[in-house]
Structure 1
Amino acid sequence: MRQNTSRAPISDTGTATRGSTSTRFGDTQRSTGYLGAGRRRARRWWRRNRRRMRRTAETITPTGYFVLGAAILSLVLAATLGWIEAWFVAAVFGVLLLLGLPFLLGSRAYLIRIAVDRTRVTAGGRVRLGIEVENAGARPALPATAELPVGEALREIAIPFIGPHGETAIPVEIATTARGVIGVGPLKLARRDPLGLVRREITWRDRHLIHVHPRTVLLPPGSVGLVRDLEGASSRRLTDSDLSFHAVREYVHGDALRHVHWKSTAKTGTLMVRQYEESQTARAAILFDADRTSYSDDEEFELGVSAAASLGLLAVREGRERFIASQWAPGRIRPSIDGLEELPAQTPTQLLDAWAELEAAEEPLPIERLARHLAESRRPLSIVMLVTGSVPDPSRLRRAAAAFAEDVDVLVVRCERLADPAARLFDAGTMFTVGALDDLPQLMVRGGFA
């Protein structure tokens, strides 16, 4: 288990700061007179006690502040107007506040550590925690209830009776039903009165982040844009210097003499040079449509994330040059100008962590504009995969695919939950309709992408 050795609670006590004289341009400036000395004493008192005052203010709950305010108001009305009822209300509320103070007395010498068996899990799995509690005091610790934040939820942890210098381990299991990042901790031990007027908390700093990766499926090895040999796969782009010979042409001023084809020159009597087809390596781009309105519901959005993550893992495992982008990237505060946010994809773990943190874009661009921006970015691409939902109609998807050059293979993955899997060819590429994640490998084979 991965453990954090920070077992002591966060200290909320501070070191008192002594007063000192202030200097300016080398001259010592001292306040004179009784008023100046009083100000210095007040500042020193505030520096020494401001943390204590802040902790005292945090001890009273909102309900307690309401009771305290009502007591003070009743006391003022009773003193000014002589109302007996106001005296009674002030006395009752004051007694309630005083009765709550004994519940905050005493302390627990706990040393707590949270141990996590793993910090990365696939959606639908489980993470096991071990909360190790040690009583470092010489007196027994009575049972208590601690609060453990788990994502947006708050789990109550029952700490049993622990003898002097004893310890116990409390197992906790977390079900990861959805993709995302779950924060576990810090653990808090709260003491409060039965009416909830006052509250005292002790917090331990041990905290963990659990990345819940999206579900992925193993795809068959792809061949589109994939280099099968060391020389690369030839394209339809012509160049003057490469490895794949195409034809010969007449010499033009500025051509390198090392490309002169002497046999053709001898036959024609004209200086001829070689012309080549440009060889290209496997350069893949995966573009995910993070516009929430492109999907009918949240489950369909998660289906799109899983499909895009599966395609990204295939590119990483095959070692392709890749550009994996979305309309939102983890850590970005403002969107980029062209709307393309590249996700880190050096390793499978890094890529899956990025997909776990990905959220729907706040100011999304249409899929057609994203595709056009990717085509205009002048990245040397051999295959482009666009992943979107069921809301964009096929005409929009065809326009998005038509933005790329003719020598770029375009695959549009349209996620429509519970739909029948289908593969359809159109002028600019191929369109897959994916109703479940397990449909994607079959469509890759059927569409000739594997």
Structure 2
Amino acid sequence: MTSTLPGTTTPDDPSVTPAAPAASATPAALGGRYVASALVPGRFAQLRYALTSVGRALRAASGALWRLLLIGLRTAARFARPVTDVVGPAGWLTLVAAVVAFSISRAFGWVEFTYLATTLLAALLVAVVFIFGRATYQVSIALNPHRVVAGQRALGEMIVTNTGAKGLLPARMELPVGEGLAEFVIPGLAAQGVHDELFAVPTHRRAVVVAGPAISVRGDQLGLLRRTVRWTDPVELFVHPVTTRLASSAAGLVRDLEGEITKKITNSDISFHALRAYVPGDALRNVHWRTSARTGQLMVRQFEETRRSQLTIIHTLESVAYASDEEFELGVSVMASLALQVIREKTNMSVVTEERQLVTGTPLTLLDDSSRIDPVEDRYPTLRDFARDATRRLPAPSVVMIIAGSQTELLQYRTVQNLFGPDTKTLAFRIEAGAQSRLSKVSGLTVITLGQLGDLPSILRRANG
């Protein structure tokens, strides 16, 4: 018999409960409960990754289905276009009204709306008969002349020929002319029959008038269905600006002299002028050694500059620079008149606007380009910014002409003048329709205020005097 101390137990006693493991117990000693609790965060991460992958796959699949749907709609629209293009605005309105009337009749049982829907659909079906048929036309458009001055008369002719072996029923043709639309009724034509139509072209203002394309129209009188066939390409009519003839050298140009001597003295050229004392920085190749040896002082050559004239016309098209459309057109006429005279004198010239640099190879190309000029809005912050950007890559000019409207302040002309050297002659044309033409000079800047085109030759002679 084994004796124990009070309050103690023996290991063999079945009533003894094992003590809790110490804090330093190993994971293996804890069994499967520790391992399961450690794997819970990893399972959540795997589940989250799986859900993310599924979401990404669903988004990709939905995107692919949406793209396929768009492709299908585009394909269906392409195949349906020959049919939908035939339906005019009145036809679509009639179709929508028929659907609405039929829906109301079904919803409320109103028989009257059923009759209305049936009548509208019947009108569409009847209109289908009018769009069938095939034409064997050959159409040509001729303008006489192709170029006119604003205000002159211009006529056009449309010639329609039936090139088929069978006769054709009467038809209707439409011909856009500028902003208008000319409509012609072509009578029935026998085989090889010809029909011509004359029309007037609006030429009251400078523009490029486009005539065409000529299209034949088949359809009902209500315009529900409309089938068109294009027969020609557009033809352009150039309406040139009104210009005035200027006297030779009226603009005070530096003559195009192929080496003519000017009054400017330079250190490098071919026309000898005089000798002067050497200054540090002078090129040694200009030293006149014989004179230097005789005088005991270095002497260098001076030359008179020879150059070819280069004229630059800066013409702003900003609408805020002009008080009216009439003033804008007067500015275009002044620019064209000056440029034409320069081209006749075979002087190098550049004409720049906010839109582009005009073609100045021949008088005809210049006038054609002038016909395309339109006002612009807010292309450059100031006139100086426009002039600097437009002339950056041009040769240095000997004469600069600035053309702007009456809303342009004199200070803006002066800022443009400062872009060029002191040897550049600058003329500022201030266009003010209806004003008294006058000439003034401000700090080396010649300002010409022009109220009408007829005053340009005389005022230029004064400016050159």
The structure number with the bigger radius of gyration is: 2
- C-alpha deviation, 1:246, in angstroms: 4.3
Question: Is 1:343 aligned with 2:343?
Answer: no
- C-alpha deviation, 1:52, in angstroms: 6.0
Decide which of 271, 287, 311 is 1:243's aligned counterpart: 271
- C-alpha deviation, 1:140, in angstroms: 3.1
Q: Which is bigger in relative contact order (C-alpha 8 A, separation at least 6)?
A: 1
Structure 1 residues 377 and 174 mapped into 2: Cα distance closer, same or farther (>3 Å)? closer
- C-alpha deviation, 1:205, in angstroms: 2.9
The aligned residue for residue 387 of structure 1 is 403
The aligned residue for residue 5 of structure 1 is none
The aligned residue for residue 408 of structure 1 is 424
State the secondary structure of the residue aligned to 2:464. coil
The aligned residue for residue 291 of structure 2 is 264
- C-alpha deviation, 1:248, in angstroms: 2.6
Q: Matched residues in 2 for 1:228 and 1:109: separation? A: 59
The 5 Å alignment of 1:290-305 reads 290-305=317-332
Q: Matched residues in 2 for 1:375 and 1:195: separation? A: 57
- Report how many aligned residue pairs link the two structures: 393
Which range moves more in the overlay, 356-365 or 213-222?
A: 356-365
Q: Matched residues in 2 for 1:62 and 1:378: separation? A: 53
Decide which of 85, 91, 109 is 1:64's aligned counterpart: 91
State the secondary structure of the residue aligned to 2:158. strand
**Contact (CA 8 Å) 1:234, 1:277: kept in 2 or not?**
yes
Q: Matched residues in 2 for 1:444 and 1:93: separation? A: 71
Q: Matched residues in 1 for 2:391 and 2:210: separation? A: 38
- C-alpha deviation, 1:252, in angstroms: 5.2
Decide which of 141, 148, 153 is 1:121's aligned counterpart: 148
**Contact (CA 8 Å) 1:188, 1:204: kept in 2 or not?**
yes
**Contact (CA 8 Å) 1:143, 1:161: kept in 2 or not?**
yes
Kindly provide the amino acid, as one letter, of the partner of residue 358 in structure 1.
Answer: I
Structure 1 residues 244 and 313 mapped into 2: Cα distance closer, same or farther (>3 Å)? farther
Kindly provide the amino acid, as one letter, of the partner of residue 378 in structure 2.
Answer: E
Question: Is 1:162 aligned with 2:189?
Answer: yes
- C-alpha deviation, 1:385, in angstroms: 0.5
Q: Matched residues in 1 for 2:187 and 2:112: separation? A: 46
The aligned residue for residue 352 of structure 1 is 367
Question: Is 1:172 aligned with 2:187?
Answer: no
Decide which of 285, 295, 298 is 2:312's aligned counterpart: 285
**Contact (CA 8 Å) 1:328, 1:360: kept in 2 or not?**
no
The aligned residue for residue 15 of structure 1 is none
Kindly provide the amino acid, as one letter, of the partner of residue 361 in structure 2.
Answer: Q
Q: Matched residues in 1 for 2:451 and 2:77: separation? A: 61
- C-alpha deviation, 1:76, in angstroms: 3.7
**Contact (CA 8 Å) 1:249, 1:275: kept in 2 or not?**
no
The aligned residue for residue 201 of structure 1 is 228
The aligned residue for residue 21 of structure 1 is none
The 5 Å alignment of 1:12-161 reads 53-79=80-106, 81-161=108-188
CA-based RMSD: 2.8
**Contact (CA 8 Å) 1:372, 1:404: kept in 2 or not?**
no
The aligned residue for residue 320 of structure 1 is 347
**Contact (CA 8 Å) 2:440, 2:448: kept in 1 or not?**
yes
- C-alpha deviation, 1:209, in angstroms: 1.7
**Contact (CA 8 Å) 2:211, 2:236: kept in 1 or not?**
yes
**Contact (CA 8 Å) 1:371, 1:401: kept in 2 or not?**
no
The aligned residue for residue 461 of structure 2 is 445
Which range moves more in the overlay, 230-239 or 204-213?
A: 230-239
**Contact (CA 8 Å) 2:243, 2:336: kept in 1 or not?**
yes
- C-alpha deviation, 1:370, in angstroms: 3.5
State the secondary structure of the residue aligned to 1:141. coil
Decide which of 231, 239, 248 is 1:212's aligned counterpart: 239
Which range moves more in the overlay, 161-170 or 424-433?
A: 161-170
- C-alpha deviation, 1:73, in angstroms: 3.1
Kindly provide the amino acid, as one letter, of the partner of residue 427 in structure 2.
Answer: L
The aligned residue for residue 420 of structure 1 is 436
- C-alpha deviation, 1:316, in angstroms: 1.8
- C-alpha deviation, 1:411, in angstroms: 0.7
Structure 1 residues 228 and 384 mapped into 2: Cα distance closer, same or farther (>3 Å)? closer
Kindly provide the amino acid, as one letter, of the partner of residue 448 in structure 2.
Answer: F
- C-alpha deviation, 1:289, in angstroms: 1.5
- C-alpha deviation, 1:396, in angstroms: 3.6
Q: Matched residues in 2 for 1:237 and 1:384: separation? A: 21
State the secondary structure of the residue aligned to 2:453. coil
State the secondary structure of the residue aligned to 2:245. coil
- C-alpha deviation, 1:437, in angstroms: 0.9
Kindly provide the amino acid, as one letter, of the partner of residue 151 in structure 2.
Answer: G
Q: Matched residues in 2 for 1:70 and 1:156: separation? A: 30
Structure 1 residues 428 and 402 mapped into 2: Cα distance closer, same or farther (>3 Å)? farther
**Structure (1/2) with the larger helix percentage:** 2
Deviations 1:219-246 (A, max 9, x none): 1121734236442242535223332524
**Contact (CA 8 Å) 2:287, 2:299: kept in 1 or not?**
yes
State the secondary structure of the residue aligned to 1:447. helix
Kindly provide the amino acid, as one letter, of the partner of residue 57 in structure 1.
Answer: T
Kindly provide the amino acid, as one letter, of the partner of residue 299 in structure 1.
Answer: E
- C-alpha deviation, 1:447, in angstroms: 1.4
Q: Matched residues in 1 for 2:281 and 2:123: separation? A: 99
Structure 1 residues 327 and 189 mapped into 2: Cα distance closer, same or farther (>3 Å)? same
Structure 1 residues 128 and 256 mapped into 2: Cα distance closer, same or farther (>3 Å)? farther
For structure 2, the 5+ residue unaligned runs are 1-67
- C-alpha deviation, 1:173, in angstroms: 2.5
Which range moves more in the overlay, 343-352 or 299-308?
A: 343-352
Q: TM-score, normalised by structure 1?
A: 0.79
- C-alpha deviation, 1:186, in angstroms: 0.6
Report % sequence identity: 30
- C-alpha deviation, 1:154, in angstroms: 0.7
For structure 1, the 5+ residue unaligned runs are 1-38, 330-341
Q: Matched residues in 1 for 2:398 and 2:191: separation? A: 69
The aligned residue for residue 36 of structure 2 is none
The aligned residue for residue 338 of structure 1 is none
- C-alpha deviation, 1:269, in angstroms: 1.3
Structure 1 residues 158 and 125 mapped into 2: Cα distance closer, same or farther (>3 Å)? farther
Q: TM-score, normalised by structure 2?
A: 0.77
